Amino acid sequence: MRRTPARRPTMKDIARRAGVSESAVSFALNGRPGVSEATRERVRRVAEQLGWQPSTAARALSGEGAATVGLVLARPARTLGVESFFLRLVSGIQEALAVRRLGLLLQVVEDLDAECAVYRRWWAERRVDGLLVVDPRAGDPRPALLDELGLPAVLIGAPDDGEAVHGAISTLWADDTGAMASVVGHLHALGHRRVTHIAGLPELAHTRRRMACLRAEAARRGLSDVTSVTTDYSDAQGAEATRRVLAAGRPPTAIVYDNDVMAVAGLAVAAELGVPVPDGLSIIAWDDSVLCRSTHPALTALSRDTAAFGRHAAERLLSLLDGGPPERVQDATPRLVRRESTMRAREDGGR
């Protein structure tokens, strides 16, 4: 059942709580003369207790909306500068918003608590009309918060299995399990029996689905030497994980990376260790990019139109802002593009 959206505190609420007139509240909060310092301090303290924030846009004051949608990325900042996925996603989002002359407000934060705090502040300040929310995760508090605030939103990616999404929230997702199944099928057909998945952040729902699908497909095909290693998506952790698994007693004959940056870093580590790709190690990257096509050998990768994915997410949000109902929409499944980094496995892995 959808909750009644929370009401933003007003100057009238502050006046009632502080025991002063609305004009005194206006004077106090806008730094104008006409009230004592004691009254000014009391009004400011009450405003803070109520969570009041000044509107930052004249459009909001006139009731026309902020003409802006928000996107918060709670990812390590060092990984965003090198990962092309979000740049392409944002380009598609902006393409759809530009048609309606809407702006995109983007903020990068350290963790989920900070992200939720940003949502509360933007809501209080009437900063955005709606939100695009990425990286669903286990026990995700954001759908309930957005339901409480009454902010229209699109969740990009499916929530954790069994977790319902309520309120004015649409969901746009791609089939991670189907994509991973195609990867395992490709490697199995090439004779690979020792496969490592160098995954992303372990708390993300899509990471968990990919890992679960890998285990399920391995069990179904009788592969017993298959494992996943989680990272922060960075080239540094991708390289370190690659170095560690290749130094094992029975190293994998194939590695699947959860993004292009880690795959390229892994290719460099293999060269450093004298492990030939693909003769001694097959490599597959999630989310194809110019990086995957520019290496030697070029990397086999899961490909999709990420800009179109972003555009579709923005279009779903525009539909909500126009009064349309929440929707659950499945986007195109990433398809495997076979290049020179995968080949038939040798019995000894080429070593």
Label residue 1 by pLDDT band (50, 70, 90): low
pLDDT given for residue 265 in this prediction: 97
6: pLDDT strictly greater than 90: no
- Name, of 18-27, 55-64, 96-105, 253-262, the range with top average pLDDT: 253-262
Cα distances from 204 to residues 47, 131, 144, 207, 270, in angstroms, run 36, 19, 17, 5, 28
- Residue 221 in this model has a pLDDT that exceeds 70: yes
CB atoms < 10 A from the CB of 324, how many?
A: 14
What does DSSP say about strands 335-337 and 300-303: parallel, antiparallel, or unpaired? antiparallel
What pLDDT score was predicted for residue 8?
Answer: 76
Q: Pick the residue with more confidence: 251 or 349?
A: 251
Q: What three-state secondary structure class fits 255?
A: strand
Structure confidence at residue 329 as a pLDDT band (50, 70, 90): very high
Dihedral pair phi/psi, residue 200, rounded to 5°: -90, -145
Q: What pLDDT, on a 0 to 100 scale, did the predictor assign at position 163? A: 56
Average pLDDT, the chain: 89
One-character DSSP codes across 34-65: SS-HHHHHHHHHHHHHHT------HHHHTTS-
Give helix then strand counts, H and E, for the chain: 14, 12
Residue type, position 59, single letter = R
pTM of the model: 0.80
Give which of 299, 217, 296 is closest to 262, Cα–Cα: 299
Check whether 220 has a pLDDT greater than 50.
yes
Q: What percent of the chain has pLDDT over 70?
A: 90
Residue 61 has pLDDT above 60, yes or no: no
Tell me the two tokens of residue 327: 């929707």
Instruction: Collect contacts of 5-11 with beta carbons under 8 A, ≥24 apart.
Output: 5/148, 5/149, 5/150, 6/148, 6/149, 6/150, 8/52, 8/123, 8/124, 8/126, 9/47, 9/50, 9/51, 9/52, 9/124, 10/52, 11/52
Are 256 and 159 in contact by the 8 Å Cβ rule? The answer is no
Q: Above 90 in pLDDT, residue 121? A: yes
In our burial notation (b when 16+ CB lie closer than 10 A, e otherwise), range 35-52 reads beeebbebbbebbeebeb
pLDDT of 155 strictly over 80: yes
Tens digit of pLDDT for each residue in 294-305? Answer: 999 999 999 999
Mean pLDDT of 204-231: 95
Higher pLDDT, 62 or 222: 222
| 3-state SS, residue 205 | helix
Q: Is the pLDDT of residue 180 over 70?
A: yes
The region of weakest confidence among 58-72, 111-125, 304-318 is 58-72
Question: Which pLDDT score is estimated for 60?
Answer: 41
- pLDDT-derived band at 59 (thresholds 50, 70, 90) equals very low
